[in-house]
Amino acid sequence: MDEALPSSLQQSIGHILIVDDEPFNRELLHAILKNQGHETTGAENGKRALELIESLPVDVVLLDVMMPSLDGFQVCRILKGNARTAHIPVILVTSLSGRKDRLMGMEAGANDFLTKPVDIQEVLLRVRNAIYAKRLYDRLQESYEKLKELESLRDKLTHMLVHDMRSPLAGIHGYLEMIRLHGQMNRNPKIQRFADQALHSTSSLIEMVSSILDVSRLEEDKMPLNSAPADLVDVTRQAIQSLTGSKNECRISLECPHESVQVLCDGEIMRRVITNLLANALKFSEETTEVTVGIEKHPEEVKVRVSDHGPGIPEEHLPMIFEKYGQAHLRSRRQKYSTGLGLTFCKLALEAHNGRIGVHTEVGRGSTFWFTLPT
């Protein structure tokens, strides 16, 4: 029968921790496993087992249930509750065979059971299968760590390249301003129009670069917040004013029952959050429709909403709409519900302020992006 099994399963040899308060039981399991090439370590009680497992490369724990002080169920719960040991298979060795006892073992997190008196072949098969499962987990974990390392290298390279783009873009922006000024002075509307369009595109690129860098800094908790009392109504008006030159401009209305809404925040970051949400709404709205910004003051928080009459967002795409990799996935499927990393920046910026962000949407009827800040 073994010949039909994967070679890695047939050759599953490992280090087994045998936990039993009876020396005879430990010696019996030791002899059975050593004969098959396994390495074993014995522990006379649960406390000693927990000490040993912290320093030994254990592949499987054979754990007696009936022990003084800490019984097998308690030890199993401790092992499964510790992130460092939760992945190690635990096989409970017990003379208890009732349904209630088995349920208690499963509730404690046991991976398998052996009934006393133990059967040699059953011990070897269950240990072999447990080691094989542990090896698969170890390989998966190793692959995951390598993937994380590659992602980190990729993010660092992207960060470096994007950071180096800032200076050339700033230079281009400055020269375009001079060209536009030259068109104004020489009353050349054609040059001025071309310069305006180029400046708008350059400003979009600069905003993209800033979003990429800021998302990285926010993810690493390395972006300092200059928190101070700020009037959210005034911040919103600044955001609206910054978009008055948008070629997709449609009328933006501000609904606010209060002349001033004070919150403690980084005013510049909040302006960028609102600008991003407004730019998104403008981008996906018809030029004849209205985008509405509403500010609501509640006893413990302030809520800001940006509503449009665009195409809306299908429900299956909502879980990805604020996520960095979700944006890439939507882009690859040619689904354009945001302007890039803008929504990811908004989410991270608001979380840094202990705020929340979300969206209410209906396909064909439009979307309302909202966020809250504590007062």
Distances (CA, A) of 275 to 68, 123, 224, 346: 65, 65, 20, 10
Q: Which amino acid is at 174?
A: G
pLDDT tens for residues 29-60?
999 999 999 999 999 999 999 999 999 999 99
User: Phi/psi zone of residue 261: left (φ > 0), alpha (ψ -120 to 50 degrees), beta?
Assistant: beta
Tokens (6 digits) for 166:
């800032």
Contacts made by residues 222-228, CB under 8 angstroms, sequence distance 24+: 223/352, 225/265, 225/266, 225/269, 225/352, 225/353, 226/266, 226/267, 226/268, 227/264, 227/265, 227/266, 227/353, 228/264, 228/265, 228/266, 228/267
Residue found under tokens 């000024």: 181
Class of domain 2-142: alpha beta
Distances (CA, A) of 108 to 77, 116, 325: 5, 19, 36
Mean of pLDDT over the chain: 85
The whole-angstrom separation of Cα 250 and Cα 279 is 11
Give the CA-trace dihedral at 253, 257, 262, 267, to 10 degrees: 0
2-142 and 228-374: identical CATH topology? no
- DSSP secondary structure code for residue 320 in this structure: G
pLDDT tens for residues 311-343?
888 888 888 888 776 555 555 555 555 556 788
**Domain boundary assignment for the chain:** 2-142, 148-219, 228-374
pLDDT tens for residues 159-179?
777 777 878 888 998 889 899
Q: What angle do CA 328, 252, 173 make, to 5 degrees?
A: 60
The whole-angstrom separation of Cα 286 and Cα 308 is 9
Distances (CA, A) of 262 to 137, 265, 318, 346: 52, 9, 31, 20
Phi/psi of residue 213, nearest 5 degrees: -65, -40
Enter the pTM of the model.
0.55
Distances (CA, A) of 328 to 127, 324, 339, 374: 44, 7, 11, 31
Percent of the chain having pLDDT more than 90?
45
pLDDT tens for residues 279-302?
888 888 887 888 999 999 998 999
Q: What is the pLDDT of residue 338?
A: 53
Q: What is the pLDDT of residue 337?
A: 52
The more confidently predicted of residues 174 and 208 is 174
pLDDT tens for residues 123-152?
999 999 999 999 999 999 999 999 888 877
The whole-angstrom separation of Cα 298 and Cα 111 is 51
Kindly give the pairing relationship between strand 291-297 and strand 356-362.
unpaired
Q: What is the pLDDT of residue 23?
A: 93
Regarding the domain with residue range 228-374, which homologous superfamily does it belong to in the CATH classification?
Histidine kinase-like ATPase, C-terminal domain (3.30.565.10)
pLDDT tens for residues 89-118?
999 998 876 778 788 888 899 999 998 888
Residue found under tokens 């009037």: 231
Nearest to 237 by CA among 297, 303, 307, 293: 293
Phi/psi of residue 43, nearest 5 degrees: -135, 130
